[in-house]
Structure 1
């Protein structure tokens, strides 16, 4: 982490935290382990020193705690049941939905861009376009005033 930036505000470290959070949410959903065990596994197996570890854990705990609210917000914008969405895309959608709903300090454009980039990196060839479309609509629902206030 850069010594010039306060802890938790380094954009590169937050970006790495989001990438690891997507992977961890995927592992949590696919493996069925408790979230605490997934967090500990990632902390011991991944290079978390270059990621914002506190933000990583906050994302995972938030997705776990608010999954029903997140899925209810996503559902009207999906073309299928949330459980039928590709697991990588679903993990990206849930992490981004958590940020959109519960992290108003993070601009929605940053959230969408990060989710798209993570999906490009880990998902199917065109999965990022699906994630972009869903999150753009969700941002209108949950961040409408921010989105329209900035002339977007």
Structure 2
């Protein structure tokens, strides 16, 4: 396999891990399932498995685990950051559960995974939002994660603006 092929496969595995992490966070939110239990369930029965006739992509299990554990560990830090970015009068607790999971995972990745460019993180979670929503939610994800990214990683955005400007 070429270097480009390996890179594309890794990107696909990370995209699958992000989607699985959002689904796991949603499941935890809706059912109250324990963190370790949801990770074990996803690793044993969902990541790379066929479910109801749909073949799920192989996901990078370590990346999936890091996202889910990180969101849970950092939730008290992440939620207020997201709250500040929501429209006036809105709180994260009022947001749809799947949208809340997308925002939390995206915010965590921007804050904690500086090995992934912020623009890539934002794009990935906007794509996930498109998989679940047909209205304005992907734009909300883009706006909120973009503002968090600008605050958390201003150098990345300054360098990008210099190149574009």
TM-score, normalized by length of structure 1?
Answer: 0.90
Between Structure 1 and Structure 2, how many residues are aligned? 149
Query: What root-mean-square deviation, in Å, do the aligned CA atoms of Structure 1 and Structure 2 show?
Result: 1.9
List aligned pairs for 1:1-150, cutoff 5 A. Answer: 5=6, 10-48=10-48, 50-79=58-87, 80-123=90-133, 125-150=135-160
CA–CA separation in structure 2 for the residues paired with 1:114 and 1:88: 15
8 Å contact kept, 1:88–1:123: no
Does the residue aligned with 1:11 lie in a helix, a strand or coil? helix
CA–CA separation in structure 1 for the residues paired with 2:69 and 2:19: 15
**Structure 2 regions of 5+ residues with no counterpart?**
49-56
TM-score, normalized by length of structure 2?
Answer: 0.83
CA–CA separation in structure 2 for the residues paired with 1:67 and 1:12: 26
CA–CA separation in structure 2 for the residues paired with 1:107 and 1:56: 17
Sort the Cα spacing of 1:3 and 1:95 in 2 relative to 1 into closer, same or farther, 3 A: farther
Which is greater in Rg? 2
